[in-house]
Amino acid sequence: MSAVVDLLAGGVTMAVPVLVAASGELVSERTGILNLSLEGMVLTSAFAAVYGSGQTDSPVLGTLCGVLAGLVFAGGQAVLSVTVRANQMIVGIAANTLALGITSYGSRVLLGDAQGRTVPGFQPLKVPLLHDIPVLRQSGLAYVALALVVVLGVLGSRRTGLGLALDAVGADAAVADQAGLPVRAVRYGAVLTTGLMAGLAGAQLALSEVHAFTDNMTSGLGYLAIVAVIAGRWRMVPMMLACLFFGVAQALQFTAPAMGVNLPVAILVVSPYLIALLAVSGLAGRSRAPAALAVPFVRKG
Amino acid sequence: MPDLMRHPLTVAALASVLAALVGAGCVLAAGVSPGAAGSALWDGMFGTDYAIGISLNQAALLILVGGGFVVAERTGLINIGGEGQICIGALAATAVGVNAGGLPAAVAVPLVLVAGFAGGAVWAFPAAWLKVRRGTSEVITTLLLNFVGLGLVSLAVHENALLRQPVTSAETLPQSEPLAAGAHLPLLGLVTSPATIAIVLALVAAIGLGILLRGTATGLKLTAVGLSAPAAARLGLPVTRLEMASLACAGGFAGLAGAALVATAPFVLSDGFSSGYGFQGLVVGLLGRGSMLGVVAAALLFGFLNSGGINLQLVAQVPAATVQIVQSLLVISIAGAMLWTREANS
């Protein structure tokens, strides 16, 4: 029994940063912008959060640094994707390399001997009753971030004007433009939302879970978030379930031996990607990728 | 004059200057004199036969992946799956190579390379099939297949029933047995240099692909599909088959790179053996802008910079990440300026 509780608690903890990052990316992708650079955004934010927290001794200020870094990174991505209309795949992949380079360089030069040292972080909230349920034993930052995920989910649902506008821009930007929607502004807003959530995800990973920075500490978390968006077929609730499943699959790597289950780790590691492949293949139901995903918009004539 | 400013080479030169300036800034910020860093970088690139050999071996892999990318790009398909295709190609090549004991190199080496090509092509197939049958974006499927490919390599080298070397003690690493001696890629035979025939192979492949794309009817057909698939179909071209063939070709060349990688020292397959050649090859293919000469030039630049960066860290104590920063800034600025250059040419 306790092994199952451990598994769920571990799974939720692993799922939180993925879900936070994915919910921001979902907004971008619905408007037609693919941020492969999500991995780099989360990594940069994690670094900034650790650096800020170490300098100020305040995890709250550290979180702000992380969010700021996420926003700056996303701002650059938005200029390249929306205004300059660069190829989103190239820029995304190169931006991830850039983030890996900058953070590895920064941790050597700025942190120096303090590399990998623990910085002030967040502890699980001591809320009476809630604290007794292992699955809910999360930090305040996690609760704030999750609340924002819910806000995004409600504001961006297809029952609001905003949600419809997001989908309209992502379905056909030219038509949305003729209907009077500010296509570029919507897309800028969406990418910056991704940056905000990526910043929180990075801070959550670095300050609530690890309390330190190590090179490439996200190791694919951002890509996993993109995969969750795909596996959830660009809808909030299925995407949340996908994140939870991915988290549990990751946690299972550590708890499976204790539960007496002997599964090769690699099978657990690849399961999210196989599920996402199934979801986009159209073999199980219709896939609903935004029609204009990764297609830049320019007003003709 | 504006046409000259908008020429791709001018943009590439300006991007290089920008990236180099940032690189110099990184060196200064690390408290190292630019002279010391420059000579360490130079030594790591051209200073010794060893450095040149390592650089050429890396450039060969990037030419293969990037060249394949260009073939798929010609039909309008973007192959992000190089990393996964390298993995499966290497997996197939290792399976053949460790069992090739006793075979002469003239037989074993081609077998290993063919297995690699086939493995990579097979790994591109699901993406190609979903694209033509279901209309699923190949960008998404090839991206996902990368992670599955990496996972399969990990599975193969951790399971005794698959490719893991016999476990004799607790220290036995999770990696494959070394490939049989006959399956090793022959060295070029330059003095004390680790350069293998991979670079020759890659250059021959690049010339072959260049002729295919520019000088043959097949190349013209691929281009027609890329310009407009419906129009190509109206002309009676087998669009589906051409699209699938071009993506399989891209996968095959990435798989070939995977085979070349495991057939080079230390001759084993292990977790993380590829260290991102798939993504770097993709960038090389994009920078080549449809020209094989461009691909070769970009691959040589990246190959030499990679090994120079390692020496930069070892000798001058400048973080090797500096080279990563310089490379990615180069790519971002060229990608950002593409619209600027395209408008001039249209």
B166-189 pLDDT tens trace: 877 777 788 888 888 888 988 887
B19: nearest CA partner in chain A:
A98
Phi, psi of B161 (to 5 degrees): -70, -20
Residues 6+ apart with CB under 8 A from B96: B111, B112, B115, B183
Label residue A108 by pLDDT band (50, 70, 90): confident
What pLDDT does residue B237 have? 94
Q: Is the pLDDT assigned to residue A119 strictly greater than 50?
A: yes
Does A109 contact chain B (CB < 8 Å)? yes
Give the sign of the dihedral formed by CA B114, CA B117, CA B119, CA B125: negative
Residues 6+ apart with CB under 8 A from B220: none
Range of weakest confidence among A151-165, B201-215, B325-339: B325-339
The domains located in chain B, with CATH, are 1-30+319-346 (no CATH), 49-316 (1.10.3470)
Question: Domain limits at A161?
Answer: 2-116+138-281
A78: in domain: yes
Instruction: Decide if B228 contacts B222 (C-beta within 8 A).
Output: no
Label residue B2 by pLDDT band (50, 70, 90): low
Q: Is the pLDDT assigned to residue A1 strictly greater than 70?
A: no
A298: in domain: no
- Mean pLDDT on B10-28: 87
Q: Which residues pair with B164 in a beta bridge?
A: B176
- Mean pLDDT on A231-244: 93
Q: Any idea what the CATH number is for the domain that residue A273 is in?
A: 1.10.3470
Range of weakest confidence among A67-81, A249-263, B202-216, B325-339: A249-263
Q: pLDDT tens across A285-296, in order?
A: 566 788 888 888
- Mean pLDDT on B124-143: 90
Residues of chain A in contact with residue B26, where contact means CB-CB under 8 angstroms, are 105
A10: in domain: yes
Q: Is the pLDDT assigned to residue A141 strictly greater than 50?
A: yes
- Name the residue type at position B254: A
Q: pLDDT tens across B60-86, in order?
A: 999 999 999 999 999 999 999 999 999
What pLDDT does residue A6 have? 83
Does B310 contact chain A (CB < 8 Å)? no
Total number of domains constituting chain A: 1
A23: in domain: yes
What pLDDT does residue B67 have? 97
Which helix (H) or strand (E) is B336 found in, with range?
Answer: helix B321-336
Range of weakest confidence among A255-269, B135-149, B204-218: A255-269
Q: Is the pLDDT assigned to residue A173 strictly greater than 70?
A: yes
The three-class DSSP label of residue B172 is coil
A217: in domain: yes
Range of weakest confidence among A48-52, A204-208, A247-251: A247-251
Q: pLDDT tens across B297-342, in order?
A: 999 999 999 888 888 888 888 888 888 898 899 889 888 887 777 6
Contact B329 A289 (CB under 8 A): no
For residue B112, the distance in angstroms to the closest alpha carbon of chain A comes to: 25
- Mean pLDDT on B128-156: 90
User: How many CB atoms lie under 10 A from the CB of residue B244?
Assistant: 21
Q: Is the pLDDT assigned to residue B219 strictly greater than 60?
A: yes
A86: nearest CA partner in chain B:
B336
Tokens in use for A165? 């506008």
B151: nearest CA partner in chain A:
A266
Rounded to the nearest integer, the mean pLDDT of chain A is: 89
Instruction: Decide if A24 contacts A191 (C-beta within 8 A).
Output: no
B222-225, long-range: CB within 8 Å, 24+ apart, which pairs? B222/B71, B222/B74, B222/B75, B222/B246, B223/B74, B225/B74, B225/B75, B225/B76
Q: Which of B279, B324, B336 sits opposite A101 (nearest CB)?
A: B324
**A vs B: CB pairs below 8 A:** 133
Terminal-to-terminal C-alpha distance of chain A: 66
ipTM of this complex prediction, to 2 decimal places:
0.87
Closest to B250 measured CA to CA, from B345, B127, B148, B103: B127
CA-to-CA distance for B81 and B140, rounded, in angstroms?
Answer: 9
Does A298 contact chain B (CB < 8 Å)? no
- Mean pLDDT on A246-274: 82
- Mean pLDDT on A58-80: 96
Tokens in use for B315? 């000798």
> Longest Cα pair distance anywhere in chain B, in angstroms?
70
A286: nearest CA partner in chain B:
B134
Instruction: Decide if A250 contacts B139 (C-beta within 8 A).
Output: no
Residue with tokens 């350069």: B195
Closest to A225 measured CA to CA, from A196, A246, A249: A246
Q: pLDDT tens across B253-296, in order?
A: 999 999 999 999 889 999 888 878 998 898 899 888 889 999 99
Whole-angstrom CA distances from B23 to A102, A155, A296, B309 are 11, 43, 31, 11
A259: in domain: yes
Instruction: Decide if B242 contacts B75 (C-beta within 8 A).
Output: yes
For residue A74, the distance in angstroms to the closest alpha carbon of chain B comes to: 14
B290: left (phi over 0), alpha (psi -120 to 50) or beta: left
What pLDDT does residue A300 have? 72
Q: What is the pTM of this model?
A: 0.89
Does B328 contact chain A (CB < 8 Å)? yes
What pLDDT does residue B1 have? 47
Q: Is the pLDDT assigned to residue B4 strictly greater than 80?
A: no
- Which 77-96 residues of chain B touch chain A by CB within 8 A? 78, 80
- Name the residue type at position B6: R
Per-range mean pLDDT, top range of A67-76, B13-22, B193-202: A67-76
Contact B151 A230 (CB under 8 A): no
A230: in domain: yes
What pLDDT does residue B343 have? 63
CA-to-CA distance for A290 and B174, rounded, in angstroms?
Answer: 42
Q: Which residues pair with B270 in a beta bridge?
A: B175
For residue B140, the distance in angstroms to the closest alpha carbon of chain A comes to: 8
Q: Which of A100, A230, A273 sits opposite B324 (nearest CB)?
A: A100
Instruction: Decide if A81 contacts A88 (C-beta within 8 A).
Output: yes
Residues of chain B in contact with residue A98, where contact means CB-CB under 8 angstroms, are 324-325, 328-329, 332
